[in-house]
Amino acid sequence: MPVAAASVEDLRGRRLIVGFPGAGWRGDLRADDRIVQGSRTYVPAIPEQEWYRAESEQIEVFAPLVPVERVWVETLGRAETTATAHRDVISRLVSLDAPATRVPLPAVDGDAISGRRIIQVVDGVERRDLRAVTEVHTNADGDICVRLATELEWYRWAWSGQAPKTLEVPVHLLWIE
């Protein structure tokens, strides 16, 4: 669930959504500590790939400063309803006043999941910050699976060309963020 960044105490490393009400939203960003210049407060909004590179390699990266009133933080919320792949268009309408709440979708119901953010749930425990590296497939044992990488490994693949370490996980344990 998106929450106004002004109401969140510690922003560093949090997932962000930035934009303008009525115009649109951009995600896949991470925050650094807020900056106050004069009477204005800004949030450095770093593309996730650059965030992971900076953290992994201990380098500085460019971060545009976004006025805090145009920044929302992704937080975990409780979904009131379970998402389904076959909802009608009327039930999917949202307000353009703030970023929409996204309800995770079971990976078995998703299409084209390679590259998507994934949640793995085992015995009620969620593991986040994962990316699907493959589509749903049958492994050598006949199990229906998806190969996953941590987001750090996913983004390292982009900036270095080094193939990620992956883990094969049964699809029934996965949700698409």
DSSP state of 158: H
pLDDT tens digits, one per residue of 106-164: 999 988 999 999 999 999 999 999 999 999 999 999 999 999 999 999 999 999 999 99
From the number of C-beta atoms within 10 Å of its C-beta (0-12, 13-18, 19+), residue 18 rates as: buried
pLDDT tens digits, one per residue of 20-79: 988 999 999 999 999 999 999 999 999 999 999 999 999 999 999 999 999 999 998 765
CA distance 70 to 45: 11
Per-residue pLDDT at 67: 97
Nearest partner of 155 among 56, 35, 80, judged by Cα: 56
DSSP state of 20: E
Coil, helix or strand at residue 68: helix
The whole-model pTM stands at 0.86
Per-residue burial over 26-54, b = 16 or more CB atoms within 10 Å of its CB, e = otherwise: ebebbbbebeeeeeebbbbbbbbbbbbbb
Phi, psi of 12 (to 5 degrees): -55, 125
Pairing assessment for the beta strands 144-150 and 167-170 based on DSSP bridges: antiparallel
